[in-house]
Amino acid sequence: MKKKLLICEDDLEILEVFKIIYGDTYEVATARRITDIIELVQLHQPDLILMDLWIPETGGAEAVKILKAHDRLGKIPVLLVSASDRIWQIGEEVGADGCLEKPFSIDHCRKLVSDMLKGQAAAG
């Protein structure tokens, strides 16, 4: 059974890149905006979440904080994705399990997600 990824990204081109990178290996669900992160995660039940920092509505940082405060869903690893030069600081502040800086290499993306799903330390 394939592991499930939930990719929260509003940029269609980046979303398509993620689908290409992960679509053969994982079951991929996507969201282009977040109005209720708890409902979204309960619906898709992912093993890992890739969260764009600047996703519309709730915003990635707030969505991660809400998710990490949830008793059961807070255990799902979240990879915060952004071109922000503050991504590591923000990721630490909100409790993200790892960060992926844009632009990124495909090989690095694959390895980072694989390592996180294996429970290894996540570095960007």
pLDDT in tens, 44-97: 999 999 999 999 999 999 999 999 999 999 999 999 999 999 999 999 999 999
Q: Which residues contact 15 (CB under 8 A, 6 or more apart)?
A: 7, 9, 30, 32
Q: At what angle do helices 60-68 and 87-94 cross, to 10 degrees?
A: 30
Q: Give domain limits for the chain.
A: 4-117
Per-residue confidence band for 42, with pLDDT thresholds at 50, 70 and 90: very high
Residue 52: strand pairing partners: 81
DSSP sequence for 36-98? -HHHHHHHH--SEEEEETT-SBT-HHHHHHHHHTSTTGGGS-EEEEE--TTHHHHHHHHT-SE
d(CA 84, CA 107): 21
Per-residue confidence band for 122, with pLDDT thresholds at 50, 70 and 90: very low
Q: What is the pTM of this model?
A: 0.93
- Assign domain 4-117 one CATH number from 2.60.40.420, 3.20.20.70, 3.40.50.2300, 3.40.50.300: 3.40.50.2300
